[in-house]
Structure 1
Amino acid sequence: MKLKDKAILVTGSSQGIGLAVGLAMLREGAQVVFHSEKPMSKCGEVIKAIGTPNAFYVQADLSKEGEARRLVQVASERYGPLDALVNNVGTFREPELLAVAKKDFEAIFSLNVWSALEATQEYVRINQKAGRGGRILFSSSLNGTRSEPGHTLYDASKGALNALTRQLALELAQLGFTTAAVAPGLIETPLTDFGMKSDPAVREAIRKQIPIQRIGTIEDVAEWYVFLASDAAKYATGQVVAVDGGLDAQQMAFRPIAHSER
């Protein structure tokens, strides 16, 4: 029960990593506020969790101005000042580079970066009024430091979250808040098919590029959020933790080793 009696909001938690994080935190004793832009009737796994008094759901479209602020307010009204805020919501859908327009930039950065900052601002305001600090976590990505074709705006937004994690660690330390980000590698979720389910050859080619030789699962990632939200991690702040099967440690996959190198 690493999170017993802690109140935590996880944005973007109706599926994938966010859902796994919320459920893992529930199992560890936390009161968890789940969230997505969809009505709860379309969030089957969340409906199961809501059957306990320690789970609550809020619908909010964080791409709209003020909705992230409202979400934090509702969550705080439900369980009191929150012990942790997990800024997980995000998207990677974007056009090819030469087709990218300002509206595409604004859509990605509004959801992936601004909503996290807006939620954090309200979280800090509410907790300050209550005379307490808290923990602020971000869902970054290995793409924040290792680029991938076709993800210009997404990669830039995750790089911004990494910078925000470090900057807020400095800005908020004296107020009693700490920050951290989890940067997953390739994790199998409803949003990350990339042909892995429909084409076994593609799946195998991807798997072979990962040093651990396995595509990550949402469970591989979720426990890191539990740890970072727990008191065991209270002295760590401003850190970005890669959970990637070794991808960040690898310069390039399948480079032939010349005889002269041996």
Structure 2
Amino acid sequence: MERFQQKAVLVTGSSQGIGAACAIKLAQQGADLVLHGLARDERAEDTLKQIEALGRRVVFFEADLCQPANAIKLVNDAISAYGKLDILVNNAGMEKRHNFVDITEKDYDQVMNTNLKSVFLGTQAFVKHCQQANKPGVVINMSSVHEEIAFPHFTVYCMSKGGLRMLTRNLATELAPYNIRINNIAPGAIATPINKSLLENKEQLNEVLQNIPLKKLGKPEDVANLVAFLASDDASYITGATYLIDGGLTHHYKEQ
């Protein structure tokens, strides 16, 4: 099913993990892709090759979103690549573990700039493009269950994801007159490279699984399937929503 034929999509943070899965899923359904990462490394090359093998157009741009102005350039580069941009998936993000009293201003700025300010500015650039072209658009923000669940020692990360949830709700109302939809996805425990240490620690992994009613971690492809739905016309009446994809974790969670 090629429901994204003639659609151009930017997925930030798409060298690996959830972002790569989202890009590949959208390409499988007909989209032309703009990939993004800090560097065009082996992981990025592998994702590029998989999309090219599907017969879709694909380009890659490097950008450090700790510098939020780079998000504006990234979106504009994506628009230049295909002459338009139809769908923006704000997937790039980072986290840092610190005791609250040890968080430095630099740590704070790095996380908030990457997870929230760059999303704000990149989305703003995308919306301006849609308005100027008088065309509809779709934005999908990748949040976390920790927009809802407390996560001790990751305070700034939780703040940034809570901000994403409110950004999504507010823009859903403001952008609706322009036929621009925006939704939020909040993954729980997903088996990605960022969770490598968890996957290799059986005791810690078992503690996590006890908090998940389905008793398993999610896969990047699970999130990608939801992204593809929300980006498509099948979700044309959905905006301002947050979708938990967590195996039941959020409403079952108990801090250990």
Tell me the TM-score normalised to structure 2 length: 0.93
**CA spacing shift, 1:213–1:65, aligned 2, 3 Å:** closer
Alignment of 1:1-262 (within 5 A): 1-40=2-41, 43-49=44-50, 51=52, 52-197=55-200, 199-250=201-252, 252=254
Tell me the number of residue pairs that the alignment of Structure 1 and Structure 2 aligns: 253
Deviations 1:34-82 (A, max 9, x none): 1011135562322313534421111111112421111111111112221
Unaligned runs of 5+ in 1: 255-262
Residue identity matched to 2:40: P
Whole-Å separation in 2 of the counterparts to 1:120 and 1:253: 34
Larger deviation: 7-16 or 57-66? 57-66
> 2:48–2:58: 8 Å Cα contact kept in structure 1?
no
Contact 1:89/1:111 (8 A) holds in 2 = yes
Partner deviation per Cα, 1:141-185 (whole Å, 9 max, x = no partner): 000011122211111110000000001111111122110011001
**Contact in 2 for aligned 1:49/1:55 (Cα 8 Å):** no
Q: One-letter code of the match for 1:200?
A: K
Residue 186 of structure 1 and its aligned partner are, at CA, apart by: 0.6
CA contact (8 A) 2:30 2:56 kept: no
Kindly tell me: are residues 173 and 142 of structure 1, through their superposed partners in 2, closer, same or farther at Cα, counting changes over 3 Å?
Answer: same
Report Cα offsets for 1:189-244 as digits up to 9, x if no partner. Answer: 111234321x2222222222210011111111110000000011111100000000
Name the CA distance, whole Å, in 1 between partners of 2:137 and 2:194: 30
Q: State the SS of the aligned residue for 2:194.
A: coil
Distance 2:115 2:68 in 1: 13
Give 1:208's aligned amino acid. Q
AA aligned to 2:151 is E
Alpha-carbon distance between aligned partners in 2 of 1:153 and 1:253, rounded to the nearest angstrom: 18
SS at match of 1:245: coil
Q: Is the 8 A contact 1:166 1:239 kept in 2?
A: yes
CA distance in 1, matches of 2:93, 2:105: 18
Pairwise CA distance, 1:249? 2.4
Any unmatched runs of 5+ in structure 2?
none
Q: TM-score, normalised by structure 1?
A: 0.91
1:253 positional shift: 8.0
Residue 96 of structure 1, CA deviation: 1.8
Judge conservation of contact 1:94–1:104 (CA < 8 Å) in 2: no
Instruction: Give the distance between the partners of 1:143 and 1:242, measured in 2 at CA.
Output: 11
Q: Is the 8 A contact 1:94 1:153 kept in 2?
A: no
Contact 2:136 2:178 in 1 (8 A): yes
Q: Secondary structure at the match of 1:196?
A: helix
Measured at CA, do residues 28 and 41 of structure 1 come closer, stay the same or move farther in structure 2, by a change above 3 Å? same
Q: CA RMSD in A?
A: 1.7
State how far apart, in whole Å, the 1-side matches of 2:253 and 2:12 are: 33
SS at match of 1:74: helix
8 Å Cα contact 2:68-2:114 kept in structure 1: no
**Structure-2 separation of matches of 1:41 and 1:148:** 32
Q: Distance in 2 between matches of 1:220 and 1:46?
A: 17
**Contact 1:178–1:236 (CA under 8 A) maintained in structure 2:** yes
- Superposed displacement of residue 32, structure 1: 1.1
Is the Cα contact below 8 Å between 1:41 and 1:47 reproduced in 2?
Answer: no
CA contact (8 A) 2:90 2:142 kept: yes
| Larger-Rg structure | 1
